[in-house]
Structures are given as C-alpha cells and as structure tokens.
Amino acid sequence: MVLTDIENPVFERGVRRRLVSADTTFVSIHGDPSRAVFAAKRRSRPDVIVDATRQGDRTALAREMIWVLPRGGLYIAVGARRSWTNRFDAAGRSLSTDSVASERVKKELRDSVSLERNRRPQAVVKQRDHLAVLRHTDVEEVLSSRYGAAWGEIVTRQAEYTFESRADLIMHGEPSEARKPSTIHVPELTVRAYNDATCHMREILTRNDFILPDTYRHWQNKSLLHKRIQPGSRSYARLLEAVTAGRAKSEAGTFYSLDSAFPTHFGHLMTETISRHWGWQVASKMYPDLRPVMTRQAGKAPLPQWKRDVLSALNVPLDKILFVEEGDSVRVERLVAAMPQLVNPRYIDAGIHNTWAAIGAGVGVDPTPLLRPEKIFLSRRSKSQRTCSNTPEVESFFAQNGFKVLLPEKLSFAEQVHTFAAAKVIAGFGGSALFNAMFNSTAKILILTSRSYVAANEYLIASVNGNELHYFWAPPELQQPPSGFSVDAYRSGFEFPLAQHQAALMRVI
C-alpha cells in the first residue's frame, strides 16, 4: 500500500512499472489520515506500507497506519530523515499526565514496533498482530468490500427516531454534572447475521482480522473500550492473551450473542443483555434451531439461579446454550447479533417495554399479591462500591415511615418482580437494586446516590414507563474529574445528608 497526498497517475504508473510482481494499492489521503485507515480496512491487509506523502504530520500518519500491518510488516517513510524515527519513538515514550488508559496505548505502541534506525529510507517493523475495530456505522460497508455478500446479511433494521421522556423528573440537592436529556434519540438499530464468526469470552466477537462492533457496550463513544482488549488506536486493537490462550474449536449451526462483558452481574443482565432480546425474537423465527452464546466463568456455575430465572422467563432455551469458557475461541457457522435497545446513558428504545412485559408474564402470577408492601426501600450492604456510610440511619428513617427494607439479592427473582410490581413507592440507593422498577410504570421512585454516580439507567427506564422520579443527591467521597470519567469516582462511597433532605423526603413519601 502506497500513501500519497493526492492522486498522481504519473507517479502511480512509475511505481507499478518498478513493482510489476507486487499487488500495489494507492491511497490518497488529502490531509486526512482517517481516509487511509478506512481504505485499509476495506482491502486485504498489506505486508508493506510506503508513506510517499510530502505534507502534513507524517509521524501522526504513521501512528495511525502502523496498526494495519501484520506481525513482520514493514512501514517505510520515503524521504524522511532520522528525526522522523526519533519522533516516532518519542511518541511512545513521552511522559504525560494522561489517564492510565492513554499510557497503556503508548506502551502498546512501544511494544508493537521495532525501529530500523540505520535503514534508508526510514522504516518501522511491526512486532504484533492487531485487529481492525468495526463500528455499527461502517461494518456492512467494510465487510461487503472485503467479502462481498459472503460476510452475512441484515436480519432486520429499525429506523431511528426520537421521543420525549415520559419521566416526571425532580432533583433534590446539587445534581450530578451528567444531565438527563428530556428528548431521547434512538439510533437506527440493526440485527445482523455474520457468517464464519468467532465467539470469545465476555462478548468479544471477531471475524478474521476484524473485531465486530457488537463487542462494545458503549458503541457510540469515540474510543471503544473493553477490559480484555488493548487498543492501539481508535481503529485497531489487540485481544489480550487471556482471551485467546485456551482452546480453539468450531461449531456448526446458527448462534445468537446473549453474552456480556460482565457475565455474572445482575445489573448488566437486566440492562444490556435483555436489551438485545428483541433480536432473539426476530432471529429465532428465521432460524428455528438458533442457540444462545454465553460466557462460562472458570470455577463458577454456568448459570447462577437468578440468571436462569430471567432467561427462562424470556423462553430462552437453557439446554441449547453454547458456553464459551474463558480463554477459549469458538468459530461458528453463523452468528446473529442485535444492537442493544438500551445504552447507558445515551438512549433507550421504547420498544424494550415488550421485553419487560414478557419477563413479568414469564415469572408467573403473584401467589400472594395482598401481602406485598406498598413502600419498599432497596438497601445495599456491599462494601465494594457506592457504599453509604450511614446506611443504618437511612434504613431506620425509611422503616419508621412505613417502608419495608429489602436486600433484593436475598429474594428469588420472581419475588423481586412481584414485590416491585406491587409497590406504590420504590426507594433505594442508586444502582442495580433499582433496575427492577422496570416492572412498575405507576410507582413513585426515589433514588439516593452521590453526584459521582453518572449512570442514567434508572432515568432511562422511567423515561419509558412514565414514573415520577426523584433524585436525592449526596456529596461523594471522590468527585468525578472536570472533564472525562473516573471509575473510582463512579464507585465512590458517600454519606447521605439525611438532615438536608428529610423535609423533602417527607413530602414525597
């Protein structure tokens, strides 16, 4: 592959005469390196990239394009001086105050190349293999360019639309910087069937030298991140050894991705995983022998009971699940994957209400409806994240005001659904414990949380159901940074200012 500033037919003919036996592709970047990156994804991976540009930042261009090459591939900068190699080296070694993730990207660059300092022209040798990252916005075009119709097919597609949140949102105290939009834009949602795809642990999906877009939860972000994938750039990344260290096998048939980056986390199941059930409903009619794909974590039961209960309520055939062991890779004949109906904090598709209704019906009729409390408070005893330091005081306040204090993880899933569905007021600490409010469209909901809790799951759920939703904010032990996002801050503990909020709480409850 030869990179040029603009189209130059005379130059191209001259190169082709000299490289008669080589399959040479010319890409004119017109000052935009992303043009070269996109062109590279659409073609077979080159063994050599020649930078014949004369304008722009050639070091920046090399940092974008080096990832395209396979292990052993050569990147040549025609006419570059030794200073080019030095700048390329410095790009991977400079100290900065960037995030840990940024430093890991720099280390990935350092460890992925070998600089040929004494070579003329200046050159870099690739030392690792990386995969091209596909996005939902370009996956069909790129795969069609590489494989034609053999890549797969569109199973169904839902047009984008907007709707006004039905939540009656009331804030108490200084709110989080993460605002809750009153107008929700739902993007175009697609269900695709990929031929000859590979399933790895924790929702990682690949096809040959591509990472499929369904791998990434927050697919609209500029930088796509997964804990088991090391980015080299925004367009190329490497699967960590833990993902590929195990067995590689093949399975015939058609499979459906119901996996998760967090396979044993209740909150991720109830938001991210079930938000792809809409695609299962469509695909299971097209492919009657469709089988789900999920991760099985080492040393743990394949399906915790609560997960079995949720999937059973949705009529997912548990006996047909293809479990991918951590570290293993399973190449399947056909893989169906749906874009999610809920992505926190960006959007929710109002049609997800059908899945919630199906779960509610699937757990069966409440055997004791008259015994359900009208007011419930969902508490948290875990010390791992978002711990409320004065939990006993908060629990006591709600108990004294007629609330039944519950730890939802102590109840069966069916009991949780019935309890939430019957309540008139649902209160609790922000997080997974409150997600079952999806089964109640009339209850008043109270969320007690810190300003560093920037998630919007509860708001998105209420935006579909139309609940009256109250946020009672507390100062966190660790603030979110002025720009960006901190996981530690997101998990920060807090002390709930009961005295500050008591009067408002009494009015609401």
The SS3 of residue 140 is helix
Tokens of 145: 């360019």
Q: How confident is the model at residue 99 (pLDDT cuts 50, 70, 90)?
A: low
Task: For residue range 336-392, list pLDDT tens digits in order.
Answer: 999 999 999 999 999 999 999 999 999 999 999 999 999 999 999 887 789 999 999
Q: Let me know: does 151 contact 138? Beta carbons within 8 Å.
A: no
Q: What is the pLDDT of residue 120?
A: 72
For residues 131 and 11, the model is more confident at: 131
Q: How confident is the model at residue 97 (pLDDT cuts 50, 70, 90)?
A: very low
Q: Which helix (H) or strand (E) element contains residue 154? A: strand 152-158
Could you tell me the fold of the domain covering 363-508? Answer: Rossmann fold (3.40.50)
Residues 423-451 have a mean pLDDT of 98
Strand 342-343 and strand 347-348: pairing? antiparallel
Its CATH class, for the domain covering 2-129, is alpha beta
Mean pLDDT of 246-269: 95
Rounded distance between C-alpha atoms, residue 312 and residue 83, angstroms: 63
Start-end of CATH 3.40.50 domains in the chain? 2-129, 363-508
Q: What's the full length of the chain, in residues? A: 509
pLDDT of residue 406: 98
The closest of 509, 468, 474, 456 to 391, measured between CA atoms, is: 474
The string of pLDDT tens digits covering residues 485-505 is 889 999 999 999 999 999 999
